[in-house]
Amino acid sequence: MNKKTVKDIDLKDKKVLVRCDFNVPMDENRNITDNRRIVAALPTIKYLLEQNCKIVLCSHLGRPKGEFKPEFSLAPVAKELSKQLKTDVVMAKDVIGEDATKKANKLKNGEILLLENLRFHREETDNDPEFAKKLAEFGEVFVNDAFGTAHRAHASTEGVTKYLPAVSGFLIEKELTFLGNALENPKRPYVAILGGAKVSDKIGVIDSLLEKVDTLMIGGAMAYTFFKAQGYSVGDSLCEEDKCDLALELMAKAKEKGVKMVLPIDTKIGKEYKPDTESKTVAWTDIPDGWQGFDIGEKTIEMFRKELNGAKTIVWNGPLGLFEFDQFAVGTDAIAHKLANLNDAITIVGGGDSAAAVEKAGLADKISHVSTGGGASLEFLEGKKLPGIEALLDK
């Protein structure tokens, strides 16, 4: 993806509008419980400070559905940013209103303003041209560094680019480099690991990866749909019975393309959906009624590990079990550790739960790239065009 970045445009002393992804989790006291997305935005913000810019940051948080709700205010983000940057980040009380405009007009070079939550306005998700135009008045240049929202055509990701020259920040540049190379120019052998709950969520990405990978490994709850499709009982496991024909089609396509499709050979099952439920490991062909599959078993872990030996590019999206419960996090954890120890492979973990699992295991810094965009990285791997990326200037 040959898109212009902040380094390809003159930003010296300019007023810059930056779209960040500060959609961070908070506890009931409004304390940020995971600041990764804030930390990920720092390199771009620091670069703009070096260019002596006036910086106006904008982001969404949660789903306030177009109305002002104090529990979705970005004020805690301004506080955390100030701490991380060791400089005062001014917080606006609104988005395009009187307070934001007044504070933006007062900005001096090297100062930062954070607008209030974009999604306090329905016009943001509607990609309303008037709203986008008002946002664009906060800058002379637009920088998009929010990969997690790049698959949405919103006012702050696509609309503003009609009024301002638009380039990417360093975070989006990194995403496009790693994910782009995995799609267009992967080092081989190329292995994809897909987990998560539903085949239906990953149809597009499985279909796309079958055109590119050498090996496709499938875990998580969606494996049970593949078992069921082959005529085996899956007990009470999560299973999309209406997707069984599709699972067989995907298996046939893998065979036709010469892609090795690897499914679990054993599974850890539990009686109930709770952390301390009774559990045992059985062959994937022997799941009894009244039991649910919650993780891959030891034999599958060993098989998956062997498949990863010698791989040069690995893309992983979706946990391999119910990793929120410790006793069913074993498979996901084992594969995270395996990836972290493959020194001569490019390892890419694609967003959402698999990224959270890698973080939880404390292994993120040993992975080549942990994507910040769940839905966006999936759509990108499917080969879809992302509106927020398409709207940026080409090099």
Q: Please check whether the two domains, 6-171 and 178-381, share a CATH topology.
A: yes
Question: Is 122 one of the catalytic residues?
Answer: no
- The answer to whether 248 and 225 are in contact (CB under 8 A) is no
Q: CA-based angle 356:359:362, to the nearest 5?
A: 155
Q: Which of 3, 15, 19, 37 is catalytic?
A: 37
Report DSSP state, residue 190: E
pLDDT of 359 reads 84
Give every strand in the sheet of 266-270, ordered side by side: 279-283, 266-270, 292-296
CB contact set of 98 (below 8 Å; sequence gap of 6+):
none
Please identify which residue in the block is written with the tokens 């099952």: 269
Residues of the chain with pLDDT under 70: 1, 351
Distance of CA 2 to the CA centre of its chain: 21
DSSP letters of 63-127?
--TTS--GGG-SHHHHHHHHHHHTSPEEE-SSSSSHHHHHHHHH--TT-EEEPPPGGGSHHHHTT
Rounded CA separation 119/102 (Å): 21
Rounded CA separation 275/361 (Å): 18
pLDDT of 351 reads 65
Residue type at 252 in one-letter notation: A
Question: Is 198 one of the catalytic residues?
Answer: yes
Q: Which of 97, 110, 180, 375 is catalytic?
A: 375
CATH of domain 178-381: 3.40.50.1260
CB contact set of 343 (below 8 Å; sequence gap of 6+):
none
CATH of domain 6-171: 3.40.50.1260
pLDDT of 203 reads 84
Q: Which of 159, 352, 374, 388 is catalytic?
A: 352
Q: What are the boundaries of each domain within the chain? A: 6-171, 178-381
Question: Is 103 one of the catalytic residues?
Answer: no
**What tens digit of pLDDT does each residue of 333-382 get?**
999 999 999 989 999 998 678 888 888 888 989 999 998 877 788 888 88
Q: Is the four-CA dihedral 235, 239, 240, 243 of positive or negative sign?
A: negative
Q: Rounded to the nearest 5°, which phi and psi values hold at 135?
A: -60, -45
Tell me the three state secondary structure of residue 181: helix
Q: Which of 36, 69, 93, 198 is catalytic?
A: 198
pLDDT of 181 reads 83
Burial profile 356-381: b = 16 or more Cβ within 10 angstroms, e = fewer: bbbbbbebbebbebbbbbbbbbbbbb
Question: Is 83 one of the catalytic residues?
Answer: no
- The answer to whether 79 and 72 are in contact (CB under 8 A) is no
pLDDT of 289 reads 95
Q: What are the helix and strand counts (H, E) for the chain?
A: 14, 15
